[in-house]
Amino acid sequence: MSIQDYRAFHRRSIEDKEGFWAEQARMIYWHKDFERVLDFSRPPFAKWFLGGETNLCHNAVDRHLEDRAEQNALVYVSTETGEQKSYTYRELYGEVNTFAASLKELGVGRGDRVVIYMPMMVEAIFAMLACVRLGAIHSVVFGGFAAENLAKRIDDAKPKVMVTANAGVRGGRVIPYRPLVDEAMEATGHPPETVVICRREVDAEMPQAAGRGMDYADLRRKHEGEEVPVEWVESSEPSYILYTSGTTGTPKGVQRDTGGHAVALTSSMKHVFASNPGETMFTASDIGWVVGHSYIVYAPLMYGMASIVYEGLPIRPDPGIWWRIVQDHGVNIMFTSPTAIRALRRQDPEYMTKYDTSTLRNLFLAGEPLDEPTSRWAAESLGTSVRDNYWQTETGWPILSSMLPGLEDEPVVAGSAGYPVYGYDVRLMHEVTGEEVPAGERGIVAIKAPLPPGCMSTIWGDDERFVQTYFSDFPDPEMYSTFDWGVKDERDGRYYIMGRSDDVINVSGHRLGTREIEEAISDHPEVAEAAAVGVKDEYKGQVVLAYVVPKDGGKVETDAGRAELEQSVKDIVDRKVGAIARPASVYFVEALPKTRSGKLLRRSIQALAESRDPGDLSTLEDPGTLDSVRATGPVRK
């Protein structure tokens, strides 16, 4: 296959949607075959595989009992508790059925919601699969979220049951869940009838919360060995709700269907992740994020792979831990975020080469812009190819990828997220006129509806907000906005993501992407990380401010050192982006504010710089990082 072949493959997925997806749909099991591939009679809502009946749990578990019952399905490694355990498909089948029987006893059935608020424990995955087995809808809430976030999500989903744990552990520190769960129960207007508590071997008490609590160990003992028949659901019935990260505003409850989700994810394992059934995938993320839903749980299991479930930090007990896992378990495909790789890059490089990682074919990275130096560094030190891919919670699987059938031997161009993935009719729109812009010009990345299978079907409980949020930015009411800014290379058609459209900086009418400025600054040998924001300016509309984490904090402690670094940061922006992008001021900070999923929370920096209230900070990993931004003082002009 060559890139021309891929272009033809992609073209067919757009021009003959029904034919194309009918073929992909054969990768999964249908209890009752679908009658129609696509129903787009009520745009922009798309229904895939109409009339078909299937079940995610059956596809992820039961279906493999025939061929791979004794193969590993999940390999659990926790460097927080020291626990290590593997589950074959047969064992997974047993655990999921026991969990399903337990939930059934608690009255959970088709269409009911179950909130799963848990750390990275295998029981969280058993619970997810048990829900979809029963036709229930799970809403996983990231286990590191505070009570306020949990309460909001309970209010939105109105769950019948909540599944939780006695504690999370992070960096060796035990975080008891009890105060969080108690507080959330008080704050919510819809407390679930029952709270199931999965206990782990850490010292944290969790009495049975407000009289609703039940120990999972008791339920498990009672229902062990039971089998619960699969509930066959119609393809467009919801399988889960998951909220976006909240980097730019209030999180949105993304609703996913069943049939389209199963088809898109299974197909992506073959075509985007270039893997084979029986192989091992290691996605270092969290089940609380979409990457975890799609590529720790559903996709690898539906495709018959072994999935590594890792709890812990990438640098503990030492920065070689991930590569040791790759060696010990013969990992073939790995997926994580650029943030994680950047964290490793600050450590002793010896750890990257200490283990035999020769089984690893591709390292996939997504979630935020992947800068060239990080990409190059990972590729060189691991001797594997690094594949950027771009997507959103909303889409559930990649929109752009640098790994697709026919691209295997194409050179990887660091900085580019690659080409449109089959099924996605990607366009770039002018953000004022809303018309398409030609290649080489920047525009907002948009997708012409119908969105392909696997993408969100709506916002949970709010069709109107779905249309308003995603389909009202351009004159064409069938054009979905990603709110990201991108450009397509005129020569080879590769796409580059330039940052978020609401982060664009407008200096005297020039629209600047935050990413270009940040990348230029990050290239400075004395800079560890940088954020660029635009703040209001009377004359120019906005000016650029740069917040820089220096590699050597000592240097900026003297006025002379600070002045020198400030000057050379401004110079590098001049040189690489242009004088118009030159920061009005450069501030040195100890750390940048990031969300719990590792994304830079630019809006909070911008608000502080404009002396505004920084707004919703509940998704912030460490509120202390804002202090160092605050301490930079009022904006100097």
Least separation, in Å, of the C-beta of 12 and ligand ATP?
25
Which of the listed partners (ligand ATP, Mg ion, none) does 388 bind, with a CB threshold of 5 to 8 Å by partner kind?
Answer: ligand ATP
CA–CA separation, 265 vs 183, rounded Å? 36
Output the six-digit token pair for 456.
């969100």
What tokens does 496 get?
A: 């580059």
Read off the amino acid at residue 181.
V
Rounded to an integer, what is the distance from CA 500 to the centroid of its chain? 16
Binding mask 384-413 for ligand ATP (x = CB under 6 A): ----xxxxxx--------------------
Candidate list 135, 159, 251, 598; residue touching ligand ATP; CB under 6 A: 251
Considering the complex, what minimum distance in angstroms separates the CB of residue 414 from ligand ATP?
Answer: 12
Shortest spacing between CB 272 and ligand ATP, in angstroms: 13
- Which H helix or E strand runs over 343? helix 338-345
Q: What gap in Å lies between CA 376 and CA 379, rounded to an integer?
A: 5
Q: 621 is written with which tokens? A: 């990993």
Among 416, 457, 482, 542, binds ligand ATP (CB under 6 A): 482
Residues 6+ apart with CB under 8 A from 630: 608
Contact flag: residue 458 with ligand ATP (CB under 6 A): no
> Which CB atom, from 570 or from 599, has the smaller least distance to ligand ATP?
599
376, 378, 383, 386: CA torsion to nearest 10: -80
> Considering beta carbons, is residue 134 or 487 the nearer one to ligand ATP?
487
Least distance to ligand ATP, CB of residue 309, Å = 20
How many Cβ atoms are within 10 Å of 193's Cβ, its own excluded? 12
375 part of the interface to ligand ATP, by CB under 6 A: no
**Which of ligand ATP, Mg ion, none binds 166 (CB below 5-8 Å, type-dependent)?**
none
Adjacent-strand bridge partners of 488: 495
| Interaction mask 487-526, ligand ATP, x per CB under 6 A | ----------x--x--------------------------
Stretch that binds ligand ATP, among 126-134, 361-369, 526-534, 562-570 (CB under 6 A): 361-369
Distances (CA, A) of 415 to 84, 486, 574, 578: 37, 12, 20, 19
- Other beta carbons within 10 angstroms of residue 487's beta carbon come to 20
Q: Closest CB to ligand ATP among 302 and 497? A: 497
Backbone φ, ψ for residue 522 (5° rounding): -65, -20
What is the rounded (10 degree) CA torsion for 172, 630, 605, 390?
A: -20
Out of ligand ATP, Mg ion, none, which partner does residue 136 contact, by CB within 5 to 8 A per kind?
none
Cis peptide before 634 (omega within 30 of 0): no
Query: Which of ligand ATP, Mg ion, none has residue 367 at its interface (CB below 5 to 8 Å by kind)?
Result: ligand ATP
**Residue 461 contact among ligand ATP, Mg ion, none, beta carbon within 5 to 8 Å by kind:** none
> Rounded to the nearest whole angstrom, what is the least distance from the CB of residue 485 to ligand ATP in the complex?
9
**Secondary structure (H, E, C), 58-117:** HHHCHHHHHHHCCCEEEEEEECCCCCEEEEEHHHHHHHHHHHHHHHHHCCCCCCCEEEEE
List the single partner that 451 binds among Mg ion, ligand ATP, none, CB under 5 to 8 Å by kind: none
Which residues, including other chains, have CB under 8 Å from residue 344's CB and lie 6 or more apart?
A: 314, 315, 319, 322, 351, 352
Asked if 628 contacts 320 with a C-beta cutoff of 8 angstroms, the reply is: no
Which 415-444 positions form the footprint of ligand ATP (CB under 6 A)? 417
β 53-54/280-283 pair status: unpaired
Which one of Mg ion, ligand ATP, none is in contact with 500 (Cβ closer than 5 to 8 A by kind)?
Answer: ligand ATP
As given in the structure block, the two tokens for residue 323 are: 């590569």
Options 194-202, 238-246, 436-444, 450-458: segment touching ligand ATP (CB under 6 A):
238-246
Using CB under 6 A, which of 171, 179, 249, 349 touches ligand ATP? 249
Q: What would the two tokens of residue 371 be?
A: 């800068």
Contact of 6 with 405, CB cutoff 8 Å: yes
366 binds ligand ATP (CB under 6 A): yes
Residues 537-556 binding ligand ATP (CB under 6 A) are none
Pattern 521-540, ligand ATP, x by CB under 6 A: --------------------
Beta bridge partners of 32: 53
Closer residue to Mg ion, CB minimum distance, 181 or 428? 428
Q: Are 379 and 385 in contact (CB under 8 A)?
A: yes
Taking the least distance from each CB to ligand ATP, the nearer of 247 and 267 is: 247
Based on CB atoms, which residue is closest to Mg ion, 305 or 504? 504
Taking the complex as a whole, the smallest distance from the CB of residue 109 to Mg ion amounts, in Å, to 32
Query: Based on CB atoms, which residue is closest to ligand ATP, 155 or 526?
Result: 155
Paired with 240 in beta bridges are 138, 256
From CA 211, how far away is CA 190, in angstroms rounded?
15
Q: What is the DSSP letter of 173?
A: E
Which of Mg ion, ligand ATP, none sits in contact with 417, Cβ below 5 to 8 A by type?
Answer: ligand ATP
Q: Which of 133, 594, 599, 602 binds ligand ATP (CB under 6 A)?
A: 599
Stretch that binds ligand ATP, among 174-182, 248-256, 267-275, 450-458 (CB under 6 A): 248-256
Residue 599 binds which entry of Mg ion, ligand ATP, none, CB below 5-8 Å type-dependent: ligand ATP
Residues in contact with Mg ion by CB under 5 A are 244
If you write DSSP's letter for every residue of 587-629 in order, what string do you get? EE-S---BBTTS-B-HHHHHHHHTT------TTBS-TTHHHHH
Which among 275-283, 317-325, 365-373, 506-514 is the span making contact with ligand ATP, rule CB under 6 A?
365-373
Dist CA 475 CA 142 (whole Å): 36
Residue 467 CB, nearest approach to ligand ATP (Å): 16
390 binds, among Mg ion, ligand ATP, none (CB under 5 to 8 A by kind): ligand ATP
Can you give the binding site for ligand ATP, defined by CB under 6 A? 244-249, 251, 366-370, 388-393, 417, 482, 484, 497, 500, 597, 599
